Structure 1
Amino acid sequence: MATSISEDNVCQRPTNGDHKLVNKTLRRLEKLYESCADPRLGLRSSPPYLPELLPDTASVLRRVWEPYRGLGVLTGRAPAADEAMFLRVHARNLLDKTNRALLLFKDGKENMFEETSGYRRNLTKMSLLFSHMLWELKAVFPGDRYHGDTYKLTKAEAREFWKLSFGNKCIVSWSNFAEKLRLVHPFEEGMESVFLKFTIDLTCNDYVSIFEFDIFTRLFQPWGSLLRNWNQLAVTHPGYMAFITYDQAVSRLERYRHKPGSYIFRLSCTRMGQWAIGHVTGEGTIVQTIPENTPLYLALLRGHNQGCYLHPDGRDVNPDLNALHKPEHKAKVKVTQEENELYRVAGTSFQMCKICTAKDKDTRIEPCGHLVCRRCLNSWLKLADHTCPYCRCDIEGTEPVHIEVCQPEHEEEGDEDDHEDIELVVKQMAALRKKAPES
């Protein structure tokens, strides 16, 4: 279990002890890499692939810590918010997992070279943990610079919950997180709490980072039924496989080649926050797909109707998920009278899609918040990478919306994610005024 770290000293600088901790971790990572590079292991190069993960992890760790290093001591820039706490938790956890992996080699000896041995299966699980830790570090330090205090959760409701509960922190202890989450999504102490922690705490360090919470809320969306979805999809559903890789999913489905419609699902380790569903086709082949921007229960229901997802882990009884499927909820995007008037003067409307100028906006892109009509978004995604047509950020989800113009007596500020649209219109109006002859 990871050593507990006080959440009070969140702005404390990294210490010389932290400097030694990181150096020790880097040395241990190098030793583990040497063990994993042994050709007798026969590790497959499909992700997560330890001979690539470990040097990548060491490289990112060095670059992230570099700004604090002086001449052998940590005298660099002061950390922001709970940056130092995150780094300390991450480094200690990384060292702990590295030592555990090395212990597998020490205890397993020749058994490590047998793919079916328990030691090898545990090494595969460790590879997923290393993958999750690297994803988390890169997410909190994009471009090797700390952005944990400005990290934007994909789902708006999750973003609001985190902001109200933890402010601009990027990591909190599990006990603190569970206390706040229970206020909005009640869950029982005991086994339910243990299972929930096992799902959310991807890096297994007794803390929850804003990145881990983002992944969880994307996987088990929508927010309104978050824990009910989690219970039915991760706790009781026989098709859910925790901590398995692409190769392990193929191996498990191999036994059901004679039973088309057999399926399992797991967290994708190449597209964090997405599900990977594997199934046996009518021809007996094994296919794994990622249903992007679609709640899992909906993907499973559609797959069932198409005859693809019939037998979870080869079983004859398929759970009925229809209770999770409710009429599509549309989030409201409120526009003030003043904002609406700006668009009217410019000869358009806030509701109109700015790409086709024919249909109303009905879809919000996450996490950037830009609004388009679904038809334009679908057409765009067929021609471009999985990015927003306005700002080119990666699309991590979409949400149906309804544009609502506020009445004067109920005026509110417009959605903050639409400020770029408003600013564009203001610029257009300024340009028109500039061209107009003086009176």
Structure 2
Amino acid sequence: MQRVLMAAGISEDVVSQRPSNRQHRLVNKTLRRLEKLHEACADPRLGLKSSSPYLLELLPETASALRRVWEPYRGLGAFTGPAPGEDEAVFLGLHARTLLAQTDRALLLFKEAKEKMFDETSSYRKDLTKLSLLFSHMLWELKAIFPGDRYHGNTYNLTKTEARDFWKMTFGNKCLVRWSIFAEKLRCVHPFQEGLESVALKATLDLTCNDHVSVFEFDIFTRLFQPWGSLLRNWTQLAVTHPGYMAFLTYDQALSRLGRHPRKPGSYIFRLSCTRMGQWAIGHVTSEGDIVQTILENTPLYLALLQGHSQGRYLYPDGQDANPDLSALHRPDHKAKVKVTQEQYELYGKVGSSFRLCKICTQEEKDTRIEPCGHLVCRRCLDSWLQKSAGHTCPYCRCDVEDTEPVEVEPYQPKHKQEKESDTDDDHEDIELVVKQMASLRKKAPERKTAQQ
């Protein structure tokens, strides 16, 4: 246990393998502070709006989730339940301490602000809003690592294929890694500089502000700044230098900010969605002066901004005339490569088809991979399907579409058979459909033979 804690950068006094009375007191103390903060936020003079993240709902939900997650390890007045696994224990201890620290920060704001807290324009009120976003991130993370109130951090399935491979090969089944260790490993595949660039990257990745990166936080980051091949380049152009990016903004604040530009249609900003982690929310001023905010479903942000610009929606980032050119991020060489295996080549040859062509329209080449199932289609067919279907599901297997990624299918070259390789992340085609086509061809063959006779 000592070795695991040291590797994660956590000392023995933070958490032990079996929760001790110290952790018992820590959790109870955190629950009391959350209740105290809820009482402060319930002051009618504060006038909190019920749009997400709404502290009067968020704080009780956080306390309830905390109780449920710790319940299996608690007895009457002491921890007497089963000992959690090592990684689970590390996460539980760090989460509880971080939650207590952020709750104390919020209570200190009320103490220092006094009457200024009731002024929506005060710096204290803005800091409280930022903390509400942090509380929301922590709750989302807890739910993701403990779905159904049971630990699944060791089996968490990252949405993006390349990100999943990187985490598994580098950190195995760990759900939490200290930032310094994570940064060292990430730098091997996506170089970045020490100093300001590293600090900015940490601020974007470490959503819960505890000097660690969880598998959940890494999943969110890679979904936001896809595709993997240009991950940090995308992050730099979209979150570091882009004037339209707003790091800590709620729905109401976005409305207020865009309200500064009623006579400049096409003004826009984008931010992390408060209700759908891993998705972008884009707001813009319409030609009528209205403000519309939409959440991207399955389109990379840079592509949505390029498309919106061509349609006259996203013209002026935060009302500024200079709109960054993101076309470089749309180059084909940023697409993930999908290699066709010999088996796939031969199978499709038997049915008179091509692996590269979309199976829905049989005309366009496959250029989009659906996550998490991995099926390949052309973008046009997928967009048409998603518009017509009741829910956002894969047209093949009907699983929920959590994300999409642009890909390029590399044709199979028969002369290189000796270079054949097995790639489990190639197209997970719906084999059942292919088998049905082959069966249909076999059935028709005897009929044609009989007709010829």
Q: Into which bin does the TM-score normalised by the smaller protein fall? A: 0.7 to 0.9
Q: Are 1:171 and 1:207, in contact at CA under 8 Å, matched by a contact in 2?
A: yes
Deviations 1:378-419 (A, max 9, x none): 343221212334152342334435275575423332425766
Q: Which moved more, 1:398-407 or 1:109-118?
A: 398-407
Of 262, 265, 268, which aligns to 1:260? 265
Of 102, 106, 114, which aligns to 1:101? 106
Q: Are 1:154 and 1:397, in contact at CA under 8 Å, matched by a contact in 2?
A: no
For 1:337 and 1:192, the matched residues in 2 are separated by 43
Q: Are 1:257 and 1:284, in contact at CA under 8 Å, matched by a contact in 2?
A: yes
For 2:15 and 2:366, the matched residues in 1 are separated by 42
| AA in 2 matched with 1:392 | C
| AA in 2 matched with 1:396 | D
Q: Which moved more, 1:404-413 or 1:203-212?
A: 404-413
Partner of 1:364: 369
Q: Are 1:362 and 1:400, in contact at CA under 8 Å, matched by a contact in 2?
A: yes
The structural deviation recorded for 1:56 is 1.0
1:119 aligns with 2:124: yes
Q: Are 2:340 and 2:409, in contact at CA under 8 Å, matched by a contact in 1?
A: no
Deviations 1:3-36 (A, max 9, x none): 96149x9993333322221111111111111111
Q: Which moved more, 1:98-107 or 1:327-336?
A: 327-336
Partner of 1:169: 174
For 1:180 and 1:250, the matched residues in 2 are separated by 39
Report matched runs for 1:357-396 at 5 Å: 362-382=367-387, 383-389=389-395, 390-396=397-403
- SS of residue paired to 2:293: strand
The structural deviation recorded for 1:181 is 1.3
The structural deviation recorded for 1:295 is 2.1
Partner of 1:61: 66
| AA in 1 matched with 2:391 | D
Of 392, 397, 407, which aligns to 1:400? 407
Inter-CA distance 55–230: structure 2 relative to 1 (3 Å threshold)? same
Structure 1 unaligned regions, length at least 5: 431-439
- SS of residue paired to 2:369: strand
For 1:82 and 1:274, the matched residues in 2 are separated by 28
Deviations 1:141-164 (A, max 9, x none): 112121211112222221122122
- Percent identity reads 74
The structural deviation recorded for 1:377 is 2.9
Inter-CA distance 144–358: structure 2 relative to 1 (3 Å threshold)? farther
Partner of 1:437: none
1:413 aligns with 2:422: yes
For 1:281 and 1:117, the matched residues in 2 are separated by 30
Of 79, 87, 95, which aligns to 2:84? 79
- SS of residue paired to 1:386: coil
Inter-CA distance 238–352: structure 2 relative to 1 (3 Å threshold)? closer
Partner of 2:200: 195
Tell me the TM-score normalized by structure 1.
Answer: 0.87
Partner of 1:180: 185
For 2:428 and 2:257, the matched residues in 1 are separated by 49
The structural deviation recorded for 1:331 is 3.4
Q: Which moved more, 1:90-99 or 1:330-339?
A: 330-339
For 2:39 and 2:66, the matched residues in 1 are separated by 18
| AA in 1 matched with 2:368 | T
| AA in 2 matched with 1:271 | R
- SS of residue paired to 1:178: helix
| AA in 2 matched with 1:94 | L
Report matched runs for 1:289-438 at 5 Å: 289-327=294-332, 329-334=334-339, 336-338=341-343, 362-382=367-387, 383-389=389-395, 390-402=397-409, 404-405=411-412, 407=414, 408-415=417-424, 421=430
Inter-CA distance 34–328: structure 2 relative to 1 (3 Å threshold)? same
Q: Are 1:10 and 1:83, in contact at CA under 8 Å, matched by a contact in 2?
A: no
| AA in 2 matched with 1:138 | K
- SS of residue paired to 2:23: helix
For 1:354 and 1:304, the matched residues in 2 are separated by 31
For 2:420 and 2:392, the matched residues in 1 are separated by 36
Inter-CA distance 323–339: structure 2 relative to 1 (3 Å threshold)? closer
The structural deviation recorded for 1:291 is 2.8
| AA in 2 matched with 1:97 | Q
For 1:361 and 1:298, the matched residues in 2 are separated by 17
Deviations 1:327-373 (A, max 9, x none): 26553444544566667779988667676788775532112323445
| AA in 2 matched with 1:397 | T
- Provide the aligned length of Structure 1 versus Structure 2: 429
For 2:99 and 2:322, the matched residues in 1 are separated by 41
- SS of residue paired to 2:130: helix
Inter-CA distance 344–136: structure 2 relative to 1 (3 Å threshold)? same
For 2:424 and 2:432, the matched residues in 1 are separated by 13
- SS of residue paired to 1:217: helix
Give me the CA root mean square deviation. 3.1
Inter-CA distance 416–188: structure 2 relative to 1 (3 Å threshold)? closer
| AA in 1 matched with 2:421 | E
| AA in 2 matched with 1:409 | Q
1:29 aligns with 2:34: yes
Inter-CA distance 46–18: structure 2 relative to 1 (3 Å threshold)? same
Partner of 1:156: 161
Partner of 1:211: 216
Q: Are 2:298 and 2:401, in contact at CA under 8 Å, matched by a contact in 1?
A: no
Partner of 1:42: 47
Structure 2 unaligned regions, length at least 5: 1-7, 440-453
Q: Which moved more, 1:200-209 or 1:224-233?
A: 224-233
Partner of 1:436: none
